[in-house]
Amino acid sequence: MRSVAPAAPADRRSPALVSSQPDYCHAVPHRPSPRPAALWPPRRTAVALLAVLTIFAIAGCAPSNDRSRLTVAIAASLEPAFTVIVREFEDAHPGIDVTLEPGSSTALAARIADGAPYSVLAGADASRVASLGADLAGPVTVFATNRLAIAVPPGNPRRVRGLADLARLRITALCDIAAPCGRYADEALTAAEVTLPESRITRAPDATTTLRAVTRGDAEAAVVYVTDVRSAGPAAEAVTIPPSANRTARYGIAVLAGADDPGLAREFVTTVTDPRGRAALTAAGFGVPGP
Amino acid sequence: MNRRTRRVPLGIAIPAALGLAFVVLPLVGLVTDAPWDTLVGSLTNPEARAALRLSLLCSAGATVVAFGLGLPLAWVFARLDFRGRSFAWALVMVPMVLPPVVAGVGLLAAFGRRGLVGGFLADHLGVYLTFSPAGVVLAEAFVALPFLVVTVEAALRAAGTELEEAARTLGARPWTVLRRVTLPAVGPALAAGAALAWARALGEFGATITFAGNVSGRTRTVPLAVYLLLDREPEVATALSLLMLAVSITVLAALRSRWLGRAQ
Amino acid sequence: MSLDAAVALRLGALELDVALTVPTGGALAVLGPNGAGKSTLLRILAGLRSADRALVALDGTTLDDTERGISVPAEARSIGYVFPDLRLFPHLTARDNVAFGLRTRGIGRTDAARRAAEWLERLDVARVADRRPGTLSGGEAQRVALARALAAEPALLLLDEPLSAVDVASRATTRSAMRTAVTAGPGDAPTRLIVTHDPVDAATLAECIVIVEDGRVVQSGSLAELAARPRSPYVADLVGVNLLRGTAEGGRIRLDGGGELAVVGRTSGPALAVVHPRAVALHRMAPAGSPRNAWAVRITAIEPLGDRVRVRVSGPPDLVAEITATALGELALEPGAPAWAVVKATEVRVLPD
């Protein structure tokens, strides 16, 4: 029987060996300690989460008051001008809250047909507004006109001079064909005999969103209303479209059958069509029909 | 205990039933709302078909990207210890909590024409990522990546290094260990992570529309097409949504039974 | 040629400091209580763990030399490792598991499969070749794990608790299967290092046993040598004797734990007293005739051992007595009951410490 003495190999670096009295030893874990499941201790996470949710709940709940409300659905392009009109209306009618609901005229019309509780509709195509038929509670008044323009980034880096130049751009933003501004843009392009392949067009549901593709994104041009370009301020430049190719949008406003207070709604419509309203619209770049 | 005769406490049964109803009712609403008579016409609509094809291709591409980048990331987080690891982990999780439109804005800032990387790509390589299918893949991969990393990291961590050690004693070099031991061991988790990532990519809207725009045939995935179709042709919008639903349910159910059924 | 290893490591409360040598083809068993550092030692030799100071050479090749900064990674060492939890790859069949170590060395698929099948045959588990580890019994899985380690024909085979996964009934057969298998391969038998807490495993699988307690080697030799001269209570308990430490002086040993032991002989100074359990007699009442070694004790445990019974008593001193089952019945002893333990002075073997 060979026995191996607990002696080191002949080497000065080997450790000395002694018999020792055993004493308590810890078990040795080999795995690294696991990462805690939460970034914070669970309790703190729960409290933080609760706090955040409470804040959202409180913020979301508007203080209730019993002021009269008026909801006005407007084509997106009207928002700057109507904001001014609404402020004047509220000053003249204390106790009244007017809420603007901007969107694409088509989407708003669809929502009204579904029963959305708007009091007034101001859309970018008067005939479209008129086609609401039974949902209207009065006549449609044409209160403003608008024309198309090409919006480009400040400095016009791609040297766009007219609709024809759009053909050489990488991406042009247009409104969707369901919206009036999209229909008008397509008509204008046809009138100017310019064909843009679909792969060079990005579409958005309304004019405001379409313009955003230029002001916040990489689109090189957008066809929207002159009023939109003006309200974008320094973020965009306008390139004029000659009258031969341009289209005129005729805006119509009407009181809706779903209005809680038709009288109040009619007063609002009056404000839009009277000199104060016209001044606000003109300032924004709209055309106004003769008195 | 026999599964069928097990009694479920009311405190669990009621919320579970409510949860199921909560999720199922909108789907039921979609189905009942669907214009069944015009369904086929709606789906053979060229816009619809283009959107479907684009959605499937881009979501697949995004899953591949999320996989290619997410798997190494998950490995690093599961196996290495380094300073600032918790912080790095939180950063990787950010796309999960970021509002998608905000993610899109961020992507523009990085990869847009005037962005940090995008500017370089455009000026020196003539490569534009916005308004292109590549942009769609980028946006979708961005939001899908955290899902894959979370799933795979958890599985790698749970699997531990034991099998890897055994492989090393058998002469396997690190790459072989990864290929023949680690990845197969977490196979179900990889599949689950990829499925989650794919589902997220498929449904992505906000980042896609902000970064890649809404270009027919190139970036108009199904969610974006539905967005426009709601105003144009609401029936086609519903039909398309239903089809997306059917595709997603089919793929996820198939994955669950084949790959995800086993406990991880 | 041999395996020469000198390893030192501080890990928490454990201070491992071990040196050993195994001739090529030989087998050495490392025996010790849990937490003694045995597995850590094995992991260091495998290259899975680094040590504070290590000098490991296998057949002339340096595997570790901390002073010169040499440390060969595990995958580059010619080792086979059987883990206590086996660690068979769950997604591969038994055959593919065994073939793994061959494939990593570049051997082709068919060739590796053939050699794997041969190894499974040698360990008598050829029938499970196409099954997954999850479907194997403990004994089958153990044999597959061993086949996997042997198939790569390593120069050094490391076995960590090699029979832990095997149920008691199959231990004996598995043990002998392992003995034959390690020498059955085409090449030379590998140098073997076995870590275990079971002395029977150690005695059957190795020629030499090294006892490691608290990170240090306490004793080494064959099982017979250990039994003849146990050097620590652990070893004594292992080989089944009582070991008491104390200081001897003029026919008596003053025990470290308290009490005194009358002995024969003239030893003086630090001493070890070895008493075989059969030499410990138990009585219900204080024995008459005042024998010199009699203590009042309390019964702490009773373990049947066939037709004999092992009774543990606490004094001091703490002792293990071995009596017949009949005697147990007559004494009507039970745990917690008081009793008297008597040892004849002539039955005490005294060894200088």
- The C-alpha torsion from A7 through A9 and A14 to A17, rounded to 10°, is -10
Domain range holding C300?
241-352
ipTM surpasses 0.90: no
Residues C222 and C267 both lie in one domain: no
- pLDDT computed for residue A14 by the predictor: 30
**Common-topology check for domains A68-145+249-284 and A147-248:** yes
Which numeric CATH code is attached to B60-260?
1.10.3720.10
Is C14 in CB contact (< 8 Å) with chain A? yes
Q: For chain B, what is the radius of gyration of the CA atoms?
A: 21
What span, in angstroms and rounded, lies between the C-alpha atoms of B39 and B30? 13
Of B165, B173, B174, the CB nearest to C48: B165
Instruction: Name the phi and psi angles at C253, rounded to 5.
Output: -120, 125
* DSSP for residue C342: E
Angle between helices B133-159 and B100-111 (to 10 degrees): 110
Q: Which residues of B touch C77 (CB under 8 A)?
A: 169
How close is the nearest chain C Cα to the Cα of A177, in Å? 56
Average pLDDT over residues B130-149: 96
Residues C218 and C317 both lie in one domain: no
Residues C267 and C188 both lie in one domain: no
What span, in angstroms and rounded, lies between the C-alpha atoms of A34 and C171? 36
What span, in angstroms and rounded, lies between the C-alpha atoms of B71 and B144? 13
Residues paired with residue C194 on neighbouring β-strands, in sequence order: C29, C159
Q: Which residues contact C92 (CB under 8 A, 6 or more apart)?
A: C100, C132, C133
Q: Which residues of C touch A20 (CB under 8 A)?
A: 213-214, 216, 218
What average pLDDT does chain A have? Answer: 81
Q: Do A22 and C214 touch (CB under 8 A)?
A: yes
Residues C279 and C212 both lie in one domain: no
DSSP, collapsed to helix, strand or coil, labels residue C38 as: helix
Q: Which residues of C touch B162 (CB under 8 A)?
A: 83, 85, 87
Task: Select from 3.40.50.2300, 3.40.50.300, 1.25.60.10, 3.40.190.10 the CATH code of A68-145+249-284.
Answer: 3.40.190.10
- pLDDT computed for residue B33 by the predictor: 78
> How far is the CA of A50 from the CAs of A47, A144, B88, in angstroms?
5, 50, 25
Of C85, C90, C104, the CB nearest to B171: C104
Which residue has better confidence, C303 or B149? B149
**A147-248 architecture in CATH?**
3-Layer(aba) Sandwich (3.40)
CATH number, domain with residue C128: 3.40.50.300
Q: Which residue of A has its CA nearest to C40?
A: A28
Interface test with C, best of A2, A18, A25 (most C CBs within 10 A): A25
Is A18 in CB contact (< 8 Å) with chain C? yes
- Number of folded domains in chain C? 2
What span, in angstroms and rounded, lies between the C-alpha atoms of C179 and C158? 14
Q: Do B215 and A199 touch (CB under 8 A)?
A: yes
Q: Do A199 and B160 touch (CB under 8 A)?
A: no
Average pLDDT over residues C221-248: 81
- The C-alpha torsion from C288 through C291 and C292 to C294, rounded to 10°, is -60
What span, in angstroms and rounded, lies between the C-alpha atoms of C45 and C151? 19
Look at residues B176, B158, B147 and name the one whose alpha carbon lies nearest to residue B71.
B147
Is C248 in CB contact (< 8 Å) with chain A? no
What average pLDDT does chain B have? Answer: 89
Q: Six-digit token pair at C291? A: 């024998």
Size of interface A-C (CB pairs under 8 A): 96
Helix or strand holding residue C187 (H, E): none
Percentage of chain C exceeding pLDDT 90: 31
Dihedral over Cα of C3, C9, C14, C16: its sign: positive
Dump pLDDT digits (tens) for C312-343.
Answer: 888 888 888 888 888 888 888 888 889 999 99
Rama region for A268: left / alpha / beta (φ>0; ψ in -120 to 50; rest): alpha
Number of H helices, E strands in chain A: 9, 9
Q: Six-digit token pair at A184? A: 């008008």
pLDDT band at C150; cut points 50, 70, 90: very high
What span, in angstroms and rounded, lies between the C-alpha atoms of C315 and A103? 94
> How far is the CA of A209 from the CAs of A146, B105, B210, in angstroms?
17, 14, 10
Residues C254 and C305 both lie in one domain: yes
- pLDDT computed for residue B194 by the predictor: 92
Look at residues C41, C36, C56, C51 and name the one whose alpha carbon lies nearest to residue C211.
C36
Q: Which residues of C touch B170 (CB under 8 A)?
A: 80, 100-101, 104, 148-149, 152
pLDDT band at A38; cut points 50, 70, 90: very low
pLDDT at A26 over 60: no
C308-314, strands of its sheet edge to edge:
C280-283, C338-343, C294-305, C308-314, C319-324
pLDDT at B100 over 90: yes
Residues C266 and C217 both lie in one domain: no
Q: Which of B113-127, B243-257, C75-89 has the lowest mean pLDDT?
A: B243-257
> How far is the CA of B256 from the CAs of B144, B147, B191, B207, C169, in angstroms?
19, 16, 9, 28, 41
DSSP, collapsed to helix, strand or coil, labels residue C181 as: helix
- pLDDT computed for residue B264 by the predictor: 40
Q: Neighbouring chains of B at 3+ CB pairs within 8 Å? A: A, C
pLDDT at A5 over 50: no
In chain A, what are the domain boundaries?
68-145+249-284, 147-248
Residues C77 and C200 both lie in one domain: yes
Q: Six-digit token pair at B224? A: 């974006």
Is A10 in CB contact (< 8 Å) with chain C? no
Residues C264 and C143 both lie in one domain: no
Q: Which residue of B has its CA nearest to C45?
A: B169
CATH number, domain with residue C297: 2.40.50.100
Angle between helices C138-151 and C94-103 (to 10 degrees): 20
Interface test with B, best of C87, C102, C148 (most B CBs within 10 A): C87
pTM greater than the 0.90 cutoff: no
- pLDDT computed for residue B255 by the predictor: 74
Residues C213 and C89 both lie in one domain: yes
Residues C124 and C257 both lie in one domain: no
- pLDDT computed for residue B12 by the predictor: 92
Domain assignment of residue C260, yes or no: yes
> How far is the CA of A174 from the CAs of A221, A222, C124, in angstroms?
9, 6, 77
Helix or strand holding residue C121 (H, E): helix C109-122
Which residue has better confidence, C148 or C346? C148
Of C74, C105, C152, the CB nearest to B168: C74
What span, in angstroms and rounded, lies between the C-alpha atoms of C107 and C114? 11
Dump pLDDT digits (tens) for B241-254.
Answer: 888 888 888 878 87
Domain assignment of residue C341, yes or no: yes
Q: Do C220 and A13 touch (CB under 8 A)?
A: no
Q: Neighbouring chains of C at 3+ CB pairs within 8 Å? A: A, B
Which residue has better confidence, A40 or C33? C33
Interface test with B, best of A203, A218, A220 (most B CBs within 10 A): A218
Is C52 in CB contact (< 8 Å) with chain B? no
pLDDT at A65 over 80: no
- pLDDT computed for residue C305 by the predictor: 75
Single-letter code of the amino acid located at B30: L
- pLDDT computed for residue B248 by the predictor: 83
What average pLDDT does chain C have? Answer: 87
Residues C52 and C184 both lie in one domain: yes
